[in-house]
Structure 1
């Protein structure tokens, strides 16, 4: 797949777990990349004119004159991610928009999340649009893909996590309910349908964000960012 944008490509090139095929860039982008990521790069750069990107990227792709043909990253086993970090974990219950997932990954990187968990099905594959929205976080935040999200919740519970599902009808807010003595995992549902029944029943607790009645819900990526900030905020 093609990754594009300076920050996204630089992060991918710096990731030893990626396998690269081609690196196309303009003269200006080459100088910007060299300033951000000193040579040598793991793949030979090919200098092209800016019009070249229109032949293989979508019209709305903000590429900044740089694109990298790279293989998708392999998913990370959840247990391995938990061994490396006890930061918060985000579980996405049928969140299907790749740009939302990318934005969630960006927030996850900003707040030190241990992993983002998605399902094998009903979840988007890694795409250039997702990577662009993540602004490099796709190569820094472990992504685990699980067949059964309820079992992933149980894995987290056995590992000592308190698993909280975000639901607008919950009695307590996240600020009121967040524990001080254990790490937290947050389960976020799709914006239109919310958490599914099995996930709601498997969570340790349902919590909500204190939004006004002016809107029914927040975009899932915005909700993830607000929730991660709340977990990081000292009382």
Structure 2
């Protein structure tokens, strides 16, 4: 399978930082991600039909635009009110739901052979993906670390994971 034929979507659940969301949109654009879904309290850029308070909408859009460098206007994103329903819908469309998390049962990115359709779930910057949401994933992925620290900023971790998912040869389906 041609690596550019792989369909990758990202689900940003309960990210707190507008800068992380902006960076994620920019990184998604770089790695040709199909869609970034925002769920929970994750901030997001202004969009047609946006019902947020105009001051909040404009402030969040302005702040995340600094990190997004224009990707807030070009990277497809969707706000989804129900994460569990979104995961079910993606699974029905043939996506494998992979949570990016530090977990003893997680597969390292270097050991993972991505399928043709992958949905990467990212959790909040402090607690990560909750245990209940981990159970909603088909598998968990982790980034191997070698220094004294074992955690990364969520947008940095997403960039590493998206590079691996986009460039690794995958399974045929």
User: TM-score by structure 2 length?
Assistant: 0.80
Match of 1:115 in 2: 35
Secondary structure in 1 matching 2:42:
coil
Bigger RCO (CA 8 Å, 6+ sep):
2
Shift of 1:183: 1.2
Match of 2:20 in 1: 100
Match of 2:159 in 1: 225
Match of 2:118 in 1: 184
> Which runs of no fewer than 5 residues in structure 2 stay unpaired?
46-60
Q: Are the equivalent residues in 1 in contact too, given 2:20–2:155 (CA < 8 A)? A: yes
Shift of 1:167: 1.1
- Correspondent of 2:109 among 174, 195, 209: 174
Matched, 1:131 2:68: no
RMSD: 1.7
Secondary structure in 1 matching 2:148:
coil
Over 3 Å counting, the alpha-carbon distance change for 1:229 and 1:125 in structure 2 is closer
User: TM-score by structure 1 length?
Assistant: 0.60
Shift of 1:196: 1.8
Secondary structure in 2 matching 1:88:
strand
Match of 1:202 in 2: 136
Query: After the TM superposition, which parts of structure 1 deviate over 3 Å for at least 4 consecutive aligned residues?
Result: none
Can you list the C-alpha shifts for 1:126-178, whole angstroms capped at 9, x where unaligned? Answer: 22010121011111111111111121111111101111001111331123223
Distance (Å, rounded) in 2 between the aligned partners of 1:130 and 1:91: 17
Distance (Å, rounded) in 2 between the aligned partners of 1:93 and 1:199: 10
- Correspondent of 1:142 among 76, 79, 90: 76
Q: Are the equivalent residues in 1 in contact too, given 2:8–2:119 (CA < 8 A)? A: yes
Distance (Å, rounded) in 2 between the aligned partners of 1:195 and 1:178: 22
Secondary structure in 1 matching 2:66:
helix
Distance (Å, rounded) in 2 between the aligned partners of 1:87 and 1:113: 7
> Which runs of no fewer than 5 residues in structure 1 stay unpaired?
1-84
Secondary structure in 2 matching 1:184:
strand
Q: Are the equivalent residues in 1 in contact too, given 2:12–2:37 (CA < 8 A)? A: yes
Over 3 Å counting, the alpha-carbon distance change for 1:228 and 1:125 in structure 2 is closer
Can you list the C-alpha shifts for 1:182-225, whole angstroms capped at 9, x where unaligned? Answer: 21110011121010233211111011111125113100000010
Structure 1 or 2, whichever has the larger Rg, is 1
